[in-house]
Each structure stands twice: as structure tokens, then as C-alpha cells.
Amino acid sequence: MKPLLFLTARTFVNGIRRAVTNPRRLIGLIMALAWLGRYIFFPFRGERVQDFSRANAGRATELISSMDAVRIMDALVFTFFAFITLFLALGSLNTRTSFRPADVDVLFPTPVEPKLVLVFRIFRDYLVTLLAPLFFIVVGYRPAAAGVTSLKRVLEDPSAISQTMRLASIAWFLVALSWVCINYAASLFMNRSDLASDRNKRIFGWSMATIIVSVFGFIYWQATQFDGWRDAVNLAESPVLRTIFFTATLAAWIVHGIVQGEALPTIAGLAGLLGIIVISIRIAMTQAGWMYDQAAVRGFDSINARKLQQSGDTIGLMVEQARRGKLKARRTRWIARINAPGGWALLWREAIIMLRSTLPVIILFSLMTMGLSLIPLFAERKGSAEVAGGLFILFQAFGAFIMSSAIAQAGFIEMLRRVDVQKPLPFSFSNQVLFEIMAKALLAIIISWVCSILMVVAKPALWQFALATMIAMPFLSVLLCGVTCLMTILFPDYDDPTQRGFRGLMNLVGIVASCSPGVVIFILLTAIHLSPIISALIVSLVNMGVIALVSMIAGNQYAQFNPSE
Amino acid sequence: MLEIRHLVKQYKNYRAVNDLSFTIKPGEIVGLLGPNGAGKTTALRCVAGILRPSEGNVLINGYDIVTDQAKAKAGLAFVPEVPSLYELLTVEEHLKFVAMCFNTMDVFEQKKEELLGRYNLLEKRNELVATLSKGMKQKLSVACALIHNANVILFDEPLIGVDPAGAHELKQEIRRTKDAGGSILISTHLLDTAENLCDRVIILNRGTKMVEGTLAELRQYSGMENSSLEDVFLKLTEEGHEAAAVSHS
């Protein structure tokens, strides 16, 4: 155990030390602590909590007068544990053998027993799980406190509430441990490479999904027939829910038994939870010999995926999926047939990669933008055609903005990652950057054109605005992607969360600064009622100038970019 | 001493290692050769106790790596091809962690100074591993393998990414370990390294041992008396010979 404690302690201390000695990381740490502090020390402000408290007091009085307080407390305890159980049970779907690559190379070949490593990990996860309700407490402390105050006002014995809360905290220690052990036992068993692990996981996953959907369906169906809080208490006593959320039931028995001075429910609850813990640990221990095997084969795949998700590296995520055989190469023969000489080859490559890797995102984005484009049609009923047309252009610009900040950013990170392959290509760096920017803007341009055509079909009277969109949007999209490209080159460390956050902020500042001339001119031209098509042409000329400037700066920065730094 | 008996590693429908058997005696260096995807790293990981064999046994100093893991691993060291180290430990802490795992803290201080000096890591001793270059990480990985007195050492492509001085030092180290009675298994693509360093070689192809023996035995087996190991290797892997006809007695 000593080496594992040493490793955990030193990694933690060195991580903190590293964070405070690097100014960029320190800023991130301070911001994170400030955010956390704001929620801990000032969770909720204002009168809404007071209103909530008064409203609850009325409802609570009504409920207490018609029902036994013990049943209400029992229902509250069960609901709390059932809610948390749902989250904990979902954890059983995750692979619990997610080790770091360093564990595989350094720790696994040492004589430290896998069972010891397993116990250490269970203990570590248990401590983390114990802290989970802190999140709910931090966020929901004030409203919950208001509710408790209301209940205290109407209960005959207000001290029962405090006692229940204390006992629930103790029961939580057992519930958390039981789920950590269940999750380890299930994960280690299901991921064994000698068993039909994929089939087992599919069966388990679908069973869990069926249970969750059924539970929510059942609750929804019951809720539609509610006639007051009394029915909510009855629902919490339903044998169906009590069976499915068995750990919550056992925890509620412990609390209920002690508060009421009844030994049987308390003993049954304690014995039930302890039994689950012992059986789960026993199963997990018998599977411990397979833990290293699972970790080495697939364990840290999920860690890599999580890292990529955190860094917003969608392309990297797709590459990771492809590596694991979960991404099929879609046939793009019609694009493959196109001959794209010179820099256009970059656009050709981008189109293939985009279709292959981010098709679901493209479909989602297209549907979202098209949906937004429908809003002006409703606006036209109440306002003028100018308002509807203006809104259409605004939503298209918003779509292009989303596109540049989401998909384009990941694409530029990929561009920097492949700098060794791309820089030797026979184009100037400015041209490379310009084509890269155009490639990233391609999708937003196509979508805006499709939306404009749909708009003309749906509302022919707005054709001028649709045409203006078709003229202006390509330049705006390229400009937005250009700024994103420049910011990605200036702040290229995608592994550093602080730099990532700072890059996002600077990207926003850059977009505001570069788009301002065009936007101001467009507003002025609209104010003097100039044709939207003429306005679009003038704004596009202005944007073209800004694009040239941004591309030039980005090209210079790209030329100096060294991935080793 | 390392003994592998009918080792099999099966992944669903794919058999990465198929019925592999060989023995490495004390004071012997054996090279594990094979084309990409031959199963060399999988075999090494099974021997290191990282992967669990589907069938067969791996005995290290007489202890089974599955049933008697702690005792088997006590005499084992593994140097991976691209070492993944604990980036947030310092160089010295990393060595200490490995020494603690092997329960060899009594000789740690002396051994640590010796290895840090030998692998030019003295100046970096208090630096985080994250700040080290690729070559330095490789050196640290080797130092970690040598921090306890292992007598069975597994090297997966040990000379990749190491500078000439480091490579020379590593070869010396391997020879020193051999002279001290260690059993060494080296998986490598570098045929000249295998030719110069190894007493025997085993050629794996698609998880199956094709041939095992000294260079002279391999030449004789392939009918290429005056050829280099490279020519012999290419001929044997191209022809897809069946498992070991040449036995090492």
C-alpha cells in the first residue's frame, strides 16, 4: 500500500506545485477556485429563496395535516437515495479498469499484488464518491434549507428532521461503498477478455437502459394522475420503485428504524447493505487477476477519449474511435473522383475528412441552422418583411459563428498537429493558411446557401435578403474561421486547459474586433434603407479586406510555428 | 531463469501468440524477432504479467506469473518500447516509487546514485518527468528496470530513441547483467543489434514461433551458410516456415 500512497500523494503535491509555479496554470487555478468559492460562500442570493420557502411552508402544512409525518420523512429519505442511486448505477456502465498508461508500463510489472491495487482503487473511488452529494449540497443548499425550515415549522417534533439528516449521512457511507463495489465487480467481470465481453456488455447496457426508461415511464405515468403531494408520497412507497432502488430502500430502512426506535428495519437495512458490499468485493477480488489484462488491452482508451473531449479535440476523438475500430470509413467516391490541383487539394481533403468524421455533427448543425431560419417566417406575421429578413441574416451569422467556434477550432488544432506533413507542401504559408481557412468555412457556406434557397422557396417575397445572405455569408464565414485560425496558432497548446480557456476568450475578442467594421457598416446602410443586396456587397468588400489582413498575420505566425516549443 | 510453456494469448477471434515455448537460462541473451504484428510485444507483456495468458505458463525463477505473481515479478524487470511514465513525479521520486514497489529500499540510495550517474540523470533528478525529452525518458525507464536486482529483464525495442552514447551504455548494461547471471529477452527490429548482442534468436511470425537457435543454426536451417541475419530473417519470414525445427538443447 505504501508505494501507492506515495504515488498518489506525490502526484497530487507535484501537480499543485506545478500549477502555482506556472503563471498561465496559476490563472486557471485561481479562476477555478474563485468560481467554486462563489458557489460555496454565495450559493443563492435574492428573494426567490424566500418566496420558495413561503410557498413550501404552505404546501408542507397542507401535507402534514393530511398525512403521518413519519411517512413523509421516509419518502424524502428514499427519494434522496433513489436519486443518487440512479447516478451511481450509471457508473456501472463505465469501465472501472481505466488505468494510466504509466500504470501499465511501470506499476503492473512490479510485485505489488493486483488485489492490493484493486482495494486501493476501491478506497480511492469510495472517497471521491462520498464527496458526490457535496455537489448537490453546494447547489441546492439554500432551497433545501428553506424546505427544511418549512417542515420544522409544521412538524410536532422538529428535532426528528435533524436526526433523520444525520442518520441519512451515515447510511450514505454504506450506500456509496456498496455502489463502488458493485460497479467494480460488474466492470471487472464484464470486461474479461476470455469471456464474451462485448455481448455481456450489450446485454447489461440494454438492461440498464430498459430499466431506467421503464422507471421514468412509470414515474411519469403516476405523476399524470397526481392530485397533490400526498400522491407523491404514495409513489415513493411503491413496491416497484422500492425494489428497483433496493439500496435506497435499505438506506431508508436504516434511517426509519432508528428514528422510530424499531430494531428490525435497521438490522435488515444494515445487513442488506453490508451483504451487498461483501458479495461485491468478493466477486471483484476473484476477478482481480484480469484487471491488469483489461487495463492493458483497453483500459486507458477511455482516459484518452476523456482527455480529447475535455480539450475539445473532436477530430482527435474521431481518430481515437477509428483506432478502436468504431468508425467506419464512409465511401466518398464522388469526392474522390474530383481533381483538385494545388491548394484546392486542401479543400478536397477537408471535405472527405469532414464527411467521414463529423457527419452526425454536420447533420445536427444543418438541422439547427435550418430550424433557426424558420423563426423569421413567424416574425414576419407580426412585423415587417425587413425585420424578418434581418432576423434571417442574423441567424445565419449566428450559425456561422457556432460553426467557426466548434468545428473549425478542432480542425485548426489538427492542422497544427499535422504541421510536419503540411508545411513541406509546395505553397506559400499564407496560401496554406488561406486554403485551410476556406476549407473550414466550406460547410457553413453550403448550409447558408441551402437555407437561403429554402427561404426563397418558402417566402419568395424575402428573396433580396436570401440573396444578400448568399453574398455576405461566405466572406463572414471565412472571416470567422480566419480569426479562429489565428487564435489557434497564437495559443496552440491544446493540452493546457488554461490556454484553452484563454484562447476561447481571445477568439471572442478577435471575432468582435474583426467583424465590427462590417457590422457597423451594415447597420448604417440598413438605417438609410439601402437594398440588402447592395449592403451585402459593400460589407463583403470590407470583410474581404479584413480576411486578407487576418490571413497574412496567420500565415506569418504559421510560418514561425514550431510544434516542439 | 525464464521458462515459457505453450503460451497462448487469444483476443476474441484473433490469436496474437500461438503455442510459444522457450527457455532462457541464466547468463543468456535471447532476441525475439519478427515482422510488425508478429506478437512480440504481446508475448513480452504476457511474460511481464501485464497481459494474462489465455493458455500456457510463464515461469520466472520457477514462479508462475499468474498463480505466484508477486514472487515471479520480484526478479523481473520490463523496459517498454515507448515508456509511459508518471509525468508528475520527479526523476528521483519515480525511482523511489519503483524501489518501494519492489521492496528494495535498503539499497535504494546507493543504487539510485549509481544509476542517475550512469544514465546522465543527475542534473534532472528533481525535474518532473513531464519535462524530460524522449531519450531521457527512455533512460529513466531503463534505470527503473535496474533499480532492483532483477535477474530476468525484458527489453521491448530498447535502442529506439536513445542517443549513440545511451545505446552504447545500454548495451554495456545488458552485457553486465548477462555476466552477472541474468536472463535477458530482447524484442527488436534492429537485426544487427540482435546479431551482435544475442546468444540466440527466436523468430516469430503471426504469433507462432518459426525458428529458434543461434545465428549459425539459423543459417544452417535456412540453407544460407554465409549470409547475414537480415538475409536469413527475410528468407524465413517470407517463406513462412513452420515452427522450430532447430532446437536449442
Q: Which residues contact A409 (CB under 8 A, 6 or more apart)?
A: A312, A484, A488, A507
Q: Residue B85 domain-assigned?
A: no
A19 vs B contacts (CB less than 8 Å): none
Helix-helix angle A263-286:A159-190, to 10 degrees: 20
Strands of B14-24's sheet, edge to edge?
Answer: B63-64, B55-60, B2-11, B14-24, B208-213, B200-205, B28-33, B183-187, B152-156, B76-79
CB A473 within 8 A of CB A443: no
pTM over 0.90: no
> Over 80: is that where the pLDDT of B64 sits?
yes
CB B16 within 8 A of CB B9: yes
Of A18, A110, A297, the CB nearest to B98: A110
Supply the Cα-derived Rg of chain B in whole angstroms: 18
Task: Taking the CA atoms of B19, B24, B25 and B26 in sequence, report the sign of the dihedral they define.
Answer: negative
CB A394 within 8 A of CB A468: no
> A127: helix, coil or strand?
helix
B144 vs A contacts (CB less than 8 Å): 106
Q: Residue A454 domain-assigned?
A: yes
Q: Residue B120 domain-assigned?
A: no
For residues B147 and B96, what is the distance between their CA atoms, to the nearest angstrom?
9
Q: Which of A455, A442, A518, A520 is nearest to A481 (CA)?
A: A442
Q: Residue A318 domain-assigned?
A: no
Instruction: Answer whether B76 touches A (CB < 8 Å).
Output: yes
* pLDDT for res B247: 44
Q: Which residues contact A551 (CB under 8 A, 6 or more apart)?
A: A430, A433, A434, A437, A482
- Could you list the mean pLDDT of each consecutive 10-residue stretch along chain A, which spans 565 residues? 85 80 68 65 48 54 64 82 81 66 83 86 85 65 64 68 78 88 85 68 81 84 75 82 88 83 85 92 86 72 62 66 65 72 78 72 75 67 69 83 74 79 75 85 86 84 86 90 89 72 82 89 84 89 91 85 66
CB A80 within 8 A of CB A136: no
Q: Residue A430 domain-assigned?
A: yes
| Burial category of B82 from C-beta neighbours within 10 Å (exposed 0-12, middle 13-18, buried 19 and up) | middle
Query: Which residue is listed with cell 504484428?
Result: B37
Of A2, A18, A106, the CB nearest to B86: A106
CB B132 within 8 A of CB B140: yes
Instruction: Answer whether A102 touches B (CB < 8 Å).
Output: yes
Task: Measure the CA angle with vertex A242, ends A237 and A243; round to 5°.
Answer: 150
Q: Residue A324 domain-assigned?
A: no
> B134: helix, coil or strand?
helix
A11 vs B contacts (CB less than 8 Å): 86, 88-89
Is A234 in the same domain as A251? yes
Query: Which residue is listed with cell 447597420?
Result: A523
* pLDDT for res A214: 86
- Residue B211: give the domain boundaries: 1-75+153-158+184-239
| Burial category of B4 from C-beta neighbours within 10 Å (exposed 0-12, middle 13-18, buried 19 and up) | buried
Is A29 in the same domain as A58? no
Instruction: Answer whether A296 touches B (CB < 8 Å).
Output: yes
Q: Residue B91 domain-assigned?
A: no
Instruction: Answer whether A201 touches B (CB < 8 Å).
Output: no
Q: CB B66 to CB A289 under 8 A?
A: yes
For residues B56 and B69, what is the distance between their CA atoms, to the nearest angstrom?
15
Supply the Cα-derived Rg of chain A in whole angstroms: 30
* pLDDT for res B249: 42
CB A418 within 8 A of CB A545: no
For residues A518 and A516, what is the distance between their CA atoms, to the nearest angstrom?
6
Greatest CA separation for chain A = 84
Q: Which of A542, A561, A548 is nearest to A487 (CA)?
A: A561
Q: CB A109 to CB B73 under 8 A?
A: yes
> B182: helix, coil or strand?
coil
> Over 90: is that where the pLDDT of B30 sits?
yes
Q: Which residues contact B193 (CB under 8 A, 6 or more apart)?
A: B31, B159, B171, B186
> Over 50: is that where the pLDDT of B241 sits?
no
Is A191 in the same domain as A166? yes
Is A76 in the same domain as A10? no
Q: What is the CATH number of the domain that holds B200?
A: 3.40.50.300
Instruction: Answer whether B89 touches A (CB < 8 Å).
Output: yes
* pLDDT for res A309: 63
Write out the three cell numbers for B155: 527489453
Residue burial A92-112, b: 16+ Cβ < 10 Å; e: rest: beebbbbbbbbbbbbbbbbbb
B123 vs A345 pLDDT, higher one: B123
For residues A544 and A533, what is the distance between their CA atoms, to the nearest angstrom?
16
Q: CB A296 to CB B50 under 8 A?
A: yes
A15 vs B contacts (CB less than 8 Å): 88
Instruction: Answer whether B97 touches A (CB < 8 Å).
Output: yes
A112 vs B contacts (CB less than 8 Å): 70, 101
Q: CB B69 to CB A113 under 8 A?
A: yes
* pLDDT for res B88: 82
Nearest CA in chain B to A287: B52
* pLDDT for res B154: 92
Is A257 in the same domain as A381? no
B89 vs A contacts (CB less than 8 Å): 7, 10-11, 14
For residues A555 and A549, what is the distance between their CA atoms, to the nearest angstrom?
10
**DSSP-assigned letter for residue B90:** B
Residues in chain A: 565
> B9: helix, coil or strand?
strand
Q: CB A290 to CB B80 under 8 A?
A: no
Write out the three cell numbers for A252: 431508508
B71 vs A contacts (CB less than 8 Å): 111
| pLDDT tens-place string over residues B39-58 | 888 899 899 888 888 889 99
Give me the amino acid identity at A291: M
Instruction: Answer whether B102 touches A (CB < 8 Å).
Output: yes
- Residue A501: give the domain boundaries: 344-559
Tell me which of B50, B131, B144, B154 to substitute to probe the interface with A (most A C-beta atoms closer than 10 Å). Answer: B50
Q: Residue A234 domain-assigned?
A: yes
| pLDDT tens-place string over residues A12-23 | 888 877 777 766
Q: In chain A, how many domains are there?
A: 3
Q: Residue A330 domain-assigned?
A: no
- Report the gap between the CA of A309 and the closest CA in chain B (Å): 21
Is A52 in the same domain as A34? no
| Burial category of A469 from C-beta neighbours within 10 Å (exposed 0-12, middle 13-18, buried 19 and up) | buried
| pLDDT tens-place string over residues A213-262 | 888 888 888 777 777 677 778 888 888 888 888 888 998 888 888 877 77
Is A149 in the same domain as A260? yes
Is A94 in the same domain as A35? no
* pLDDT for res A170: 82
Q: Residue B90 domain-assigned?
A: no
Is A240 in the same domain as A133? yes
Q: Which of A453, A446, A454 is nearest to A473 (CA)?
A: A446
Task: Measure the CA angle with vertex B166, ends B165 and B170; round to 5°.
Answer: 120
Q: In chain B, count of helices (H) and strands (E)?
A: 9, 10
Of A100, A102, A104, the CB nearest to B50: A104
CB A389 within 8 A of CB A362: no
CB A392 within 8 A of CB A373: yes
Q: Which residues contact A534 (CB under 8 A, 6 or more apart)?
A: A525
3-state secondary structure A333-389: HHHHCCCCCCCHHHHHHHHHHHHHHCHHHHHHHHHHHHHHHHHHHHHHHHCCHHHHH
What is the number of alpha carbons within 13 Å of residue A241 lying toward its C-beta?
Answer: 25
Q: Residue A27 domain-assigned?
A: yes
CB A532 within 8 A of CB A468: yes
Q: Which of residues 114-143 of A touch B (CB under 8 A)?
A: 114
A496 vs B contacts (CB less than 8 Å): none
| Burial category of A547 from C-beta neighbours within 10 Å (exposed 0-12, middle 13-18, buried 19 and up) | buried
Instruction: Answer whether A303 touches B (CB < 8 Å).
Output: no
Q: CB B89 to CB A11 under 8 A?
A: yes
3-state secondary structure A81-125: HHHHHHHHHHHHHCCCCCCCHHHHHHHCCCCCCHHHHHHHHHHHH
Q: Residue B89 domain-assigned?
A: no
Task: Taking the CA atoms of A540, A546, A549 and A550 in sequence, report the sign of the dihedral they define.
Answer: negative
For residues B12 and A194, what is the distance between their CA atoms, to the nearest angstrom?
8
Tell me which of B45, B67, B133, B142 to substitute to probe the interface with A (most A C-beta atoms closer than 10 Å). Answer: B45
For residues A498 and A360, what is the distance between their CA atoms, to the nearest angstrom?
29
Is A38 in the same domain as A50? no
Q: Are strands B208-213 and B55-60 parallel, antiparallel or unpaired?
A: unpaired
Phi and psi of A124, rounded to 5°?
-65, -45
Instruction: Answer whether B73 touches A (CB < 8 Å).
Output: yes
Instruction: Answer whether B17 touches A (CB < 8 Å).
Output: no
**DSSP-assigned letter for residue B122:** G
B48 vs A contacts (CB less than 8 Å): 108-109
Greatest CA separation for chain B = 55
Q: CB A10 to CB B128 under 8 A?
A: no
Q: Residue B248 domain-assigned?
A: no
Q: In chain B, how many domains are there?
A: 1
Of A10, A104, A292, the CB nearest to B89: A10
Instruction: Answer whether B86 touches A (CB < 8 Å).
Output: yes
> B17: helix, coil or strand?
strand
Q: Which residues contact A293 (CB under 8 A, 6 or more apart)?
A: A192, A193, B50, B51, B52
A-B contacts (CB, under 8 Å)? 102
For residues A86 and A77, what is the distance between their CA atoms, to the nearest angstrom?
14
Q: Residue A25 domain-assigned?
A: yes
* pLDDT for res A173: 87
Is A73 in the same domain as A218? yes
Is A375 in the same domain as A433? yes
A10 vs B contacts (CB less than 8 Å): 88-90, 93, 97
* pLDDT for res B248: 42
Q: Residue B2 domain-assigned?
A: yes
CB B170 within 8 A of CB B158: yes
A296 vs B contacts (CB less than 8 Å): 45, 50-51
Q: CB B128 to CB A100 under 8 A?
A: no
Of A2, A106, A290, the CB nearest to B98: A106
For residues B143 and B91, what is the distance between their CA atoms, to the nearest angstrom?
10
